[in-house]
Structures are given as structure tokens and as C-alpha cells.
Amino acid sequence: MTDEKQLIAGLIAATNENIDAAMVADALETPPDRKLGDLAFPCFKLARTLRKAPPAIAGDILECLNRQPLPSVIAEIRIVGGYLNFFLDRGAVARTVVDNIDRLGDRYGSSDEGEGRTVLVEFSSPNIAKPFHIGHLVSTALGHSIARIYEFLGYNTVRINHLGDWGTQFGKLITAYKLWGDEATVMADPINELLKLYVRFHTEAEQRPELEDEARANFKALESGDPEITALWKLFVDASLKEFNRMYDLLGVNFDSFAGESFYTDKMPEVVEILREKGLLEESEGAQVVRFDDESMPPCIILKSDGTTIYATRDIAAAIYRKRHYDFYKNIYVVGTPQTLHFKQVFGTLKKMGFDCADDCVHVGFGYVRFPDKAMSTRHGDVVLLEDVLNEAVAKTREIIEQSTTSKDVDNVNSVAETVGIGAVIYTFLKNSRERDIIFTWKDILDFEGESGPYVQYAYARGRSVLAKAEEQGIEYADADPALLTSDEEYALIKLLSGLQDAVRDAAVRYEPSIVTRYVTDLAQQFNKFYNTCAIMKAEDDDIRAARLRLTACTATCIKTALRLIGVNVVEKM
């Protein structure tokens, strides 16, 4: 109801110089009961400034409003307690919404409010030479969606993959590779082979502790840029990236920067220097740490007792670099909630160092994925591998499609199964508020009738197939009159369509793609209600049929846009 809200806000603000239009637009709400109207303005907030009881304020505003003819979209205004309730003219609302969607197409719901501002979204960030696990997949889905949402609101968006490509584990890996590894084996199956080497290192080091010394020496050599050691490290990074990229391709995800932890090695001395200069470093058990005023917060370790830097130091250097390089408006980290304390320490240290941009750094956390299906959690010990999950989703979807009677005419089964199967997994990750744990069961994920990706994709395909039929029969609907769409089910659908931008904004402010997922699910459900109650192709007359077709086209546009914002693609038939 963005347009109607603006209109009503302007009218109310014009009645009294002490009322601000933006405040009214913000305060306008949707009454819980349809019978109470379409929008309600609570006058309670104004009671203090205007020194009057809310019902009296409502009365004053209404009197002023009635002094001149109201715009045709407002059918009636009633006072209910301290509220001013607006009843809209359904036909007029339908016209505005449908015309806007047709005019803006896939830009409908977007805005330019972010113009000139850069938002960094750091997500995925897997570790080199280690499996890309399900937590990284959740981060990938969430971050990808958050980036698309901000982009849609006009922000300049930069997607960053902060690869875990540095640290003492590389010393171990290099040691193991030199002893037992070879390039051909590693390149054939990089992550698994590197993992095997890493595991073997730990088993053998138990018997031969001198391996640990060798590993430390190798990491030192890496840190000081030894060419042979660096070449090995580079081999591991490239091999791992090749695998990660295969999954990103599958998910349709891309990054603007792969600047991982290694990128900041030469930027750490400055961090230590600033901290020293400001007298913020303290010694603790041989390590150098930063303490916080809040005693309940553990200190942030900057230098280990052997003088090497750690994960947190690299994050501090990264934030400073990002501020200088991108001058970000927001710097978002999509990382699981177990790292909440880590980010508090990093942002807290930045702030102490005098970098106020710490206030624009946001940790967007998320919960665990739980697998009640026993078979899934045991296959690889406790780690569920991402690729298995995706491949299984696609295979299971293909089975469902092949067995379904309605999808006989799907000719590209493989690509449909891929889009639907992967979409189903992404949808599941973005379905509930992100801090809640995600319960992963195939039954729910691929439930074509429940709250699932396939359910929404199916509603889209259903709409598209009606439109295709109309086109086949040469039925024109582009100029149909939306004012004919006034039944309860049609109006409910139109109101939902008008709410797309609000949902997107809300999702951005709260870093909550689940708001868009919820929105698109409601939209699909309401479309199905409309489809089942209002005959489209067999409508009572040609004009109504055309108007319903136009509404169907608008709904398809909005479902497609909303799904795109959560990183899910649509299919024309399924």
C-alpha cells in the first residue's frame, strides 16, 4: 500500500502543521480485521504534542479532511476509538497497483534509496583445504539474498568471500604434502585428498612430535614468503577454489572479491602499531591482548605468545582496509552465531582504536542446521557435505516430477529438477528467522503442498501456464481494466502485491531474508485461493477474464522478483 500510504500521509499532514507526513506514513497500519478498513492511523502518538485525547485528534483531522473532496481512491473514513480508519476504493487501488507493476516490470518493489551508499556483504567464507560444510551453505544463501535485497534498494553492493586461507594449519598441510602427497592425486579430488593429508598429519604427529616443529617452521616460511612453500600454498588455494566455484555456479552465486585472511598479512603490523601507540595492548600469559571496560567480555587476543597474529587480528585489519578502500555505509558479516563473541571483540577493539566505523559493522548470525533424518548425519560422520545435499535434492525432485501426472509435458526434466531441487534447499534455509535452528528433513523441503520452495515455484508455473493458454488462444489482456477486480479474493491478492516493497525494506533493515520468503509464500497461497475461487479462463465475461489474466501476470512478476531476492529461480513448467 505504499502509494496509498503516501497519499493519506500527505493529506493528514496537510491538516496540521505539527503533523509530519513521514511520521504518519510510518505509523499507518493494517487493521487486524478487514471490516475495520484498509489502513488505520493511530492518533496516540500525537496526544502529547497536540495536548488532546486521541479520539478528539481523530475528530479534528477528519473534519479538516472533509472540508474538500477526497481523492477517489478513499471511499470512506471512520473514527474508531483513537484511530482514523480508511476504507479504500477497491477498483482504484487495483488500478494503481496493476498499472505500477506493468509499468515497472521486474523493477517493481525496488527503490533508489541506497544511491551513493556502499554496502559490503561478506558471506560464505569457507576454509581452504577443508570441506565446505552446511553452515557455509547457509551463510552463502543468506548473504546472497541480503546482497540482492540491498542491491534492489539501490545500494552499491559488494560481495566479499573472506576465505579462510591462512593460519598454522597450512604449516601442517605443507608438511604432510611434502611427506605423503602428490599433485595428480590432490588435483583429482582436492578437498578430500587435502583433508586426508591433514588427518594423517595429526595421527602421525602423535607418534612423531617433531612433525609439529616442522609444521611451525613451514608456516613461518610461508609467512616470510618462501617461494617454494608459497607455491604449494597457492596450489591448495586454487584447487579448493575450483571446487567451491563449482558449488557457487550451481547456486548462481558470485563474488566481487575473494580477499581472504591471507590478503591481510601485510596489513597487520599497522594494527599492532596503532594498538601499541594508544596503549591498548596488555600482556596476558605471554600473549598481547586488548581488554574491555565491560569485564564480562573476555579480552581480544592480538598476538600469540610466539608473536604470530591470529584470526581476530586479521579481522581488525580487514575492517580497516574495507573502510579505506570502499568507504562502506555498512559492513555486514554473515557468519554463524557461535562467532558472536568474536565479532563483539573485533568491533569493540576497532572502536577503542578510534575507528567509529565499528558502529557500521554488523554481525548477521544464524543458527545450526539439524538433521532429524538419521541417514544424513551419519554418512560422513558428523559432517554433512554440501554437494551431497544439493545432489540429493535434485535427484529427489527429479523423481517427484517424473511420477507426477501434471508434469508430463516438462521436456527439460534435468534443468527443472535442478532449479526446483536447489531452490527447495535455499528456501528452507531462508524460511524462518535466521537465528533459529534449521530443521532439515526431505519431507518438508520437497513438500509440494506445504510451505516450501516447490509450492511457490508451482504457483508461479501455474500462473504462467494459464497465461500461455490465453496467448495460444489469442486472448489480449494488456489493456484490461483492473477496476473490475473487486471480489474479496482478488482484492486480498492486490493488497499483497502492493506490499512487496515494504517486505523488501523490512528484510533489509533487519537483515532477514525470511521476511521476503514469508511474503512470497503468502502471495503464492493467496494466488492459489484466487485461482480456485475466481474462474480465469472461464470467467463470466471477456472483460473480467482479461482483468484476471492481467492480475495473474502481475502476480507472476512479483513471485519471480521475490524469489529472485532470496536467490531462487523460477521454471515455466513443472
Residues serving a catalytic function are 130, 133, 136
Q: Does 315 bind ligand ARG (CB under 6 A)?
A: yes
Query: Smallest distance, Å, CB 85 to ligand ARG?
Result: 48
Task: Output the DSSP codes for 361-397.
Answer: EEEE----EE--SHHHHHEEEEPPBHHHHHHHHHHHH
Q: Does 240 bind ligand ARG (CB under 6 A)?
A: no
Query: Smallest distance, Å, CB 283 to ligand ARG?
Result: 25
Smaller CB separation from ligand ARG, 314 or 545:
314
Give 52's DSSP letter.
S
Q: Which of 2, 127, 288, 552 binds ligand ARG (CB under 6 A)?
A: 127
Q: 29: helix, coil or strand?
A: strand
Q: Which of 155, 233, 328, 333 binds ligand ARG (CB under 6 A)?
A: 333
Query: Smallest distance, Å, CB 512 to ligand ARG?
Result: 20
Q: Which of 95, 162, 172, 518 binds ligand ARG (CB under 6 A)?
A: 162
Asked whether 194 and 186 are in contact (CB, 8 A), the reply is: yes
Smaller CB separation from ligand ARG, 24 or 357:
357
Asked whether 252 and 145 are in contact (CB, 8 A), the reply is: no
Give 257's DSSP letter.
B
Q: Does 159 bind ligand ARG (CB under 6 A)?
A: no
Q: Does 263 bind ligand ARG (CB under 6 A)?
A: no
**Span interacting with ligand ARG, options 124-132, 186-194, 218-226, 550-558, rule CB under 6 A:** 124-132
Any idea how long the chain is? Answer: 574
Q: Does 335 bind ligand ARG (CB under 6 A)?
A: yes
Q: In what order do the strands lie in the sheet with 156-160?
A: 156-160, 118-122, 330-334, 361-364
Smaller CB separation from ligand ARG, 335 or 556:
335
Q: Which of 131, 164, 348, 423 binds ligand ARG (CB under 6 A)?
A: 164
Residues 6+ apart with CB under 8 A from 173: 129, 194, 197, 198, 201, 236
Smaller CB separation from ligand ARG, 124 or 457:
124
Smaller CB separation from ligand ARG, 251 or 524:
251
Q: Which residue is nearest to ligand ARG (CB)?
A: 164
Beta strand pairing status for 287-290 and 281-284? antiparallel
Asked whether 330 and 119 are in contact (CB, 8 A), the reply is: yes
Could you tell me where the beta strands, DSSP code E, fall in 259-401? 281-284, 287-290, 300-303, 330-334, 361-364, 369-370, 379-382
Q: What cell was used for 406?
A: 501434471
Half-sphere exposure of 467 (CA within 13 A, CB side): 21
**Span interacting with ligand ARG, options 120-128, 251-259, 368-376, 493-501, rule CB under 6 A:** 120-128
Query: Smallest distance, Å, CB 244 to ligand ARG?
Result: 12
Q: Does 125 bind ligand ARG (CB under 6 A)?
A: yes
Whole-angstrom distance, CA of residue 284 vs CA of residue 305 = 9
Asked whether 171 and 308 are in contact (CB, 8 A), the reply is: no
Query: Smallest distance, Å, CB 363 to ligand ARG?
Result: 9
Within 490-519, the residues that bind ligand ARG by CB under 6 A are: none
**Span interacting with ligand ARG, options 121-129, 243-251, 459-467, 532-540, rule CB under 6 A:** 121-129
- Per CB under 6 A, residues contacting ligand ARG are 122, 125-127, 162, 164, 315, 333, 335
